[in-house]
A = this chain, B = another copy of it.
């Protein structure tokens, strides 16, 4: 029996899962929380307070996952460590870090432990917005062809904005940075002992398009000192997903308890790794990884430019297909906001009596309503918008409030708003000639049947539930199986090891008709507040303290 290990490096912890390559059976798993979690308030090494919107991590915490979670998962699986023949990872992204030429994180270089810019910048580090704005504006001004591949906007979360922030704010740290690398690739370096770069993070997070990163000319126009950033710190051959980066080093074997020399797959991103785990592998499929936010992955044989998409990357999800990414910045986060901040005590008491959590209780109440009976319509921009409009300064709106409005009404309206937001994304893809005909959902929200039924009704498509409770770790394990040669390619691995419950929720035609009417109303609000009919959201944003928001 061949067994592989997948490791999902999340925001707060790493999760290792041991999987049978033949059928994807999950034999054992273990989670290890990062000792330093997300470093937001102060740098542990110095106690120095960090500015607003910073979010760092400590790379030692990631290595602890190799040392603790992997052996624990193998033990939980009840298999001999020798049975493991491949290992693969997925990571949050973009989470880049400055390192020396040998891979040593700058923050581990003696004398630099107290330098905030020497640390990895977690995906949710949002302090490089000014740099992102410069990058986008200059690309638009120069007509850089790659800009449209990112929906017209380069995010503050991505590698270039974060590197430029280091240059702006700590030029010495920038000078001492010899390589600028995604944690997704850095962790593979630690496992296999060689620097590799994967096509997925390079494409989605580091503006790699048509065989190259942005040109030296463009970089010079950003900042003279930035001219050679790509050439010296970033550029490298890119490896396709599922490729074998190398073999497990003696050091990594000692950490993990696995055999030296087994296959190590190249890096990958969490949401993208989930696609094959949910059997999303063919053109026309869309995967929605629904959690606090939602990430949409679509596959197609053709290259298209979709307004507001996060990115399109050749082979970015599955070799041989264009992988498109889109997203909604607030989904489960918005429902949680309501539950935490706008639900009166009565509902808390009722939920307790019934042994439900508040989401379950409100969902049960909301599920009883006919479409539209609450008389509400909302825009799902409470955490900004990065789909179609790509404007983080937009905000949420609710219309139709009366003295009879109750918490379950608002809950339902917010769920519907996020479903309308998803429909808007699907429509934007269709308008660009990329028709989605198979909709798969995964992620934490799939455990809420009310939410999924609303989505099925709003989208007027059956919802298939894919993936596993282990989330992206199963997808990573599939890539390990491919890298180890246990399956010929990711399609075969997905067929053998993936999970998909088809038609888990099918649309109700009456509800779908009613939602067509409301969606048309949603679109009008969307365009009025999102496309300049009324720029009140920006005006209100200007009045808010800067440190509070920015999605």
- A407 partner residues in chain B, CB cutoff 8 A: 341-342
Closest residue of B by beta carbon distance from A372: B543
Q: Are B548 and A521 neighbours in the complex by a CB distance under 8 Å?
A: no
Beyond A343-B344, A376-B540, A400-B540, 4 extra complex contacts between A and B, CB < 8 Å: A342-B342, A345-B345, A395-B402, A402-B549
- Could you tell me if A397 and B397 are in contact, using CB atoms closer than 8 angstroms? yes
Instruction: List B contacts of A528 (CB < 8 A).
Output: 528, 533-534
CB-nearest residue of chain B to A349: B345
Bound complex: CA A343 to CA B524 (Å): 30
Look across to chain B and name the residue whose beta carbon is closest to the beta carbon of A383.
B403
A residues 497-551 in Cβ contact with B at 8 Å = 514, 517, 521, 524-525, 528-529, 533-534, 536-537, 539-541, 543-545, 548-549
Residues A325-367 near B (CB distance < 8 A)? 330, 333-334, 337, 340-345, 348
Per-position contact with B for A366-379: 1 when CB-CB < 8 Å, else 0? 00000111111100
Kindly supply a per-residue 1/0 record for chain A positions 69-84, scoring 1 wherever the CB is within 8 Å of any chain B CB and 0 otherwise: 0000000000000000
Q: Which residue from B345, B398, B514, B540 sits with its C-beta under 8 Å from A397?
A: B398
Distance in angstroms from A537 CB to nearest chain B CB is 7
The CA of A330 and the CA of B404, in the complex, are separated in Å by 12
B373 A403 Cβ-Cβ under 8 A = no
Question: How many copies of the shown chain assemble into the complex?
Answer: 2
Q: CA–CA, A49 to B342, complex, Å? A: 35
- Identify 28 residue pairs between A and B in the complex whose beta-carbon atoms are under 8 Å apart, listed by A's number: A337-B405, A340-B344, A341-B344, A342-B342, A342-B407, A343-B344, A344-B348, A345-B345, A372-B543, A373-B544, A375-B540, A375-B543, A377-B536, A377-B540, A382-B401, A382-B403, A383-B402, A383-B403, A395-B399, A395-B401, A396-B401, A397-B398, A397-B400, A398-B401, A402-B548, A404-B548, A517-B539, A521-B536
Complex A-B, nearest 5 residue pairs according to Cβ-Cβ distance, in ascending order: A396-B401, A372-B543, A375-B544, A400-B540, A397-B399
What's the least CB distance linking A542 to chain B, in Å? 8
Complex contact B524–A536 (CB within 8 A): yes
When C-beta atoms are compared, the residue in chain B nearest to A549 turns out to be: B402
The yes or no answer to A406 lying at the interface (CB within 8 A) is yes
Query: For the complex, what is the distance from the CA of A348 to the CA of B371, rounded to whole Å?
Result: 32
A226 CB, min distance to chain B CBs, angstroms: 33
Residues of B within 8 A of A403 (CB): 330, 333-334, 337, 382-383
Q: In whole angstroms, how far apart are the Cα atoms of A468 and B539 in the complex?
A: 41
Which residues of B sit under 8 angstroms from A541, Cβ to Cβ? 375, 400
List of B residues within 8 angstroms of A549 by Cβ: 375, 402, 404
Nearest B-chain residue to A524, judged by Cβ: B534
What is the CB-to-nearest-CB distance from A539 to chain B, in angstroms, rounded to a whole number? 6
